[in-house]
Structure formats: C-alpha cells, structure tokens
C-alpha cells in the first residue's frame, strides 16, 4: 500500500518540478526575446529618423532645382498646332517661389551707450522671390527691412535690396554666370544669409572689415567646375564688382581717447573690385570630409587687398543625426592708406546632438583697420533648438575683451542674445551641407 502511494507522489513531484524548471527557462527566453525586440525597435527608429531626414533634404533640394524636376520635353509644347517658342515655356515652372523670414532678437550687455540694449526688436525681415525664368536660367530677388532703435523710443528703418540677380545655370564647359547684385563669394560666411548662420551676431573680423551686414555688390561673376584626376569637387569663381560703399558696424568698438583717437572704419574700396574664390571638397571616408578654400579681393588702384583662407572638417555618425563640424576662416587685409596689414580670424566648433538640438562655441580675434596695434577678441557659446526647417530659437553668450590699449581702460563686454527666426516658403531652411 505504501509503495502504491509513494510512486504517484514521486511522479507528481517530478512533474511539477519539471514545470517549474520549464517556466524559469521560459521566463529567461521571454526576457531575452523582449530585449532583442527592444533593440530592433531602437534600430528601426534610428533608421526611420535617418531616412525621414534624407527625404526632407531631398524635398528641400527640389525647391531649389525646379528645372531638374521637369523633363526637358515639357519645356515647350509639342503639339503640331503650336510652335516651340519661348512663350510656350512650361508655365508651371515660371511660378516663382515666394518666401519671408523674420529675425527677432533681444540682447543684454554691459554697454550703457547701446540704444538697442534690452530691447526686443524684429531686427530684419527678408523677402525672397526666386524661380526659373527660362530653361537653365534662374532669377533671384531678396529685399531686407532692418529696424534699429536710435533713441529711447525712436526707430530707424532701412529698406535694402540685398540680392537681385539672374543665374545662368548650364553654360558650356561646366560653367555658370551670375549677373546683378548678390552677396559676394568671399570666404564661407559672407555669401550665406545671416538667418542661416549658427549664431546671432557678426564675427568680429567680418564686422571689422564689412560692417554690420555681409558684403554685397553689383557686378558679374563666372564659375567653373574644374575636372581633375582625383574626381573631387573643385570649383573656381571670378567676379567684377562696382565697389559700392559698405555700411558701418554698430557692434564693433569705436574707441576714442585723447592719446589715440582711434575710430575703426570698414573697408573703403577704390573704383572697381575684383574677386576670386576656389574651393576643394575632399572625402575622407564614408562619414567625413574636408573643405579647403581661398578667396581674394582687390580694387583697381589697388588701395585694399583681402586674402581669406578657410578650412572645414566634418564628421557625421552613420544612421544618426549626430554631426560635428569645425569651421575656420583667417583673413589678412593689406591697406595702403594708412599702410597697415590688419588680420583676424574666427574658429567655430558645432555639434548636432539630434534632429532638434545644436550646441557650439566660437572664438574670435581681429585687429583694427586704422591701427593694427590694437585688437579685440571674444569667446561665444550658443545653443539652438530647431522646431523644424522654418522655426528655431537660440540663446548665446559672448565675452569680448580688448587688448593693447596701454593708456586707456577698456572694460570687457558681456552680451546675452535671445533669437527667434521663423519663415514661410522654400527659402527659409538652413543651408544643407
């Protein structure tokens, strides 16, 4: 009788014991499967974000390449009843892209003489009209409205034609031609609209030379893509410009004292101005590249000669928004009257954290145009949040100091910027690199 009871009890014990072991093993397997599933989800999300960004970039490039979006056979009507004339050019491509960008800024600093201190201002409103006017010919028109306080409550408003040119995109031998007014292709930052910069202020060296606005002028510029055995992107440009008077810069120190009476002035061109620029982009693998450029400008006399050396190094993590960029410009000016050679540079380090956040720092140094014995330097830190391609908010802190003023006491300058930029239309997106 006891044996009959022992065997069923033993069987029940072994059965439930095996169930427990199976359950424990099953839990471990389920946990492992969940872990692998979460990893796959994260990888899929990263790939999804990456390809969404690529699609957005391609959509933005379509805006700037209207002509390429249509096949050539659509440029003219092909029916037997009508002749292929310039009036029968596809009308849909003649509809221009219209954009508006507003740059809202507020800055706090130590300078009690700054009439715009602590005031929130719509510093610049930019209106842009661009589109194809003929096959392989694009027109671009950009007007800016700038507002500043000239007293406690008085404001001054300036309306300026920033750019207005016609661009022949496809000429023989890989050449292009621009006729009209444009931001001069001198260095890296000058030809880029300020609302596309990574910071709200003007680098000291550019403000010292060109004033409170990037250098623009009326003239003609040709460019060519140079074939080479290394199969790298190599472009050269040459321009002839009128040499129009440049604006003065409000944010560059106008230091004065009985001993030196130093007053900094922007570049004063004499007659026509000639510019050249060459740029080479060298891939350094699948996830990095390097750009090296040189720009020069001189007038007829020559009274002023400018040399600009630029260098950019980029690295981006695969299947990710993470990107780091190191950008540098070094400028040497040779001025005959007075005979001096002021120099200056900036060095920018920018890191893209994700699709919304960007953080960076910039170091500035410049000598004065009227006396290269005196100089100023600054260090800046900025943080930007991009809601999308048409809206971003930014905060930046800059410390600026002055050097080699032995008989004058120059207090350092602390400035805090708040900036909001919003826009409508295809012209509002940041430059796609």
Span 361-385, pLDDT tens digits: 999 999 887 676 788 899 999 999 9
The pLDDT value recorded for residue 166 is: 97
Q: What percent of the chain has pLDDT over 90?
A: 48
Token digits for 166?
Answer: 């016609």
Mean pLDDT score, 14-29: 60
- If we measure between CA atoms, which residue out of 179, 105, 189 comes closest to residue 149? 105
The pLDDT value recorded for residue 146 is: 87
Mean pLDDT score, 354-358: 94
Residues in the chain: 433
The pLDDT value recorded for residue 62 is: 53
pLDDT tops 60 at residue 248 = no
Report the range of poorest mean pLDDT among 38-47, 189-198, 346-355.
38-47
pLDDT tops 70 at residue 288 = yes
Would you list the DSSP string of 49-83?
A: HHHHHHHHHHHHHHHH-TGGGS-GGGSS---TTS-
The pLDDT value recorded for residue 12 is: 59
The pLDDT value recorded for residue 161 is: 93
pLDDT in tens, 72-98: 433 333 333 434 444 444 554 567 889
Q: How far is CA 257 from the centre of its chain?
A: 38
Distance of CA 320 to CAs 54, 83, 92, 357, 387, Å?
11, 51, 37, 13, 18
Nearby residues of 158 by Cβ (< 8 Å), 6 or more positions away: 145, 146, 147
Q: What confidence category does residue 305 fall into, taking pLDDT thresholds of 50, 70 and 90?
A: very high
Report the range of poorest mean pLDDT among 123-132, 393-402, 406-415, 424-433.
424-433
pLDDT tops 80 at residue 169 = yes
Domain 99-428 is of which CATH architecture? Answer: Beta Barrel (2.40)
Mean pLDDT score, 44-60: 65
Q: What are the structural domain ranges in the chain?
A: 1-64, 99-428
Q: What confidence category does residue 252 fall into, taking pLDDT thresholds of 50, 70 and 90?
A: very low
Q: How far is CA 318 from the centre of its chain?
A: 22
The pLDDT value recorded for residue 61 is: 56
pLDDT tops 90 at residue 270 = no
Per the CB < 8 A criterion, the answer to whether 211 and 257 are in contact is no
- Please give the residue that has the higher pLDDT: either 339 or 410: 339
327 pairs with which residues across the strands? 312, 348
**Beta strands per DSSP E along 184-228:** 216-225
The pLDDT value recorded for residue 141 is: 96
The pLDDT value recorded for residue 279 is: 97
Q: What is the mean pLDDT of the chain?
A: 80
């Amino acid at each position: 009788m006891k044996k009959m009871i022992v065997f069923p009890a033993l069987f029940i014990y072994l059965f439930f014991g095996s169930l427990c072991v199976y359950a424990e093993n099953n839990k471990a397997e389920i946990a492992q499967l969940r872990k692998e599933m979460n990893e796959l989800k994260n990888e899929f999300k990263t790939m999804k974000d990456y390809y969404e960004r690529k699609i957005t970039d391609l959509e933005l490039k379509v805006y700037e390449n209207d002509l390429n979006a249509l096949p050539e056979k659509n440029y003219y009507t092909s029916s037997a009843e009508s002749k292929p004339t310039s009036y029968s050019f596809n009308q849909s491509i003649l509809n221009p892209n219209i954009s508006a960008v507003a740059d809202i800024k507020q800055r706090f600093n130590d300078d009690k003489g700054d009439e715009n201190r602590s005031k929130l201002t719509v510093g610049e409103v930019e209106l842009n009209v661009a589109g194809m006017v003929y096959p392989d010919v694009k027109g671009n028109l950009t007007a800016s409205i700038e507002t500043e306080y000239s007293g406690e409550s008085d404001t001054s408003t300036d309306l300026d034609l920033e750019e207005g040119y016609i661009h022949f995109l496809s000429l023989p031998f890989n050449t292009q031609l621009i006729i009209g007014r444009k931001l001069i292709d001198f260095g890296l930052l000058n030809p880029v609209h300020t609302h596309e910069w990574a910071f709200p202020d003007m680098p000291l060296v550019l403000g010292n030379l060109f004033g409170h606005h990037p250098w623009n002028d009326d003239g003609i510029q040709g460019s060519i893509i140079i074939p080479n055995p290394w199969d790298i992107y190599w472009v050269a440009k040459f321009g002839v410009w009128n040499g129009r008077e440049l604006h003065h810069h409000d944010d560059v120190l106008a230091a004065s004292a009985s001993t030196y009476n130093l007053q900094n002035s922007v570049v004063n061109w004499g007659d026509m101005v000639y510019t050249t620029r060459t740029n080479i982009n060298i891939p350094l693998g699948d996830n990095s590249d390097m750009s090296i450029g040189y720009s020069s400008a001189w007038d007829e006399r020559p009274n002023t000669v400018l040399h600009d050396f630029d260098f950019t190094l980029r690295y981006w993590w695969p299947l990710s928004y993470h990107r780091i960029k190191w950008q540098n410009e070094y400028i040497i000016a040779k001025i005959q009257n007075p005979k001096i050679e002021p120099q200056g540079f900036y060095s920018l380090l920018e890191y893209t954290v994700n699709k919304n956040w960007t953080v960076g720092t910039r170091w500035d140094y410049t000598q004065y145009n009227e006396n290269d014995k005196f100089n100023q330097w600054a260090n800046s830190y900025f943080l930007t949040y991009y809601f999308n391609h048409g809206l971003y908010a930014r905060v930046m802190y800059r410390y600026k100091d002055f050097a080699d003023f032995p008989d004058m006491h120059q207090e350092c300058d602390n400035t805090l910027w708040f900036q909001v930029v919003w826009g409508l239309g295809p012209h509002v997106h940041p430059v796609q690199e």
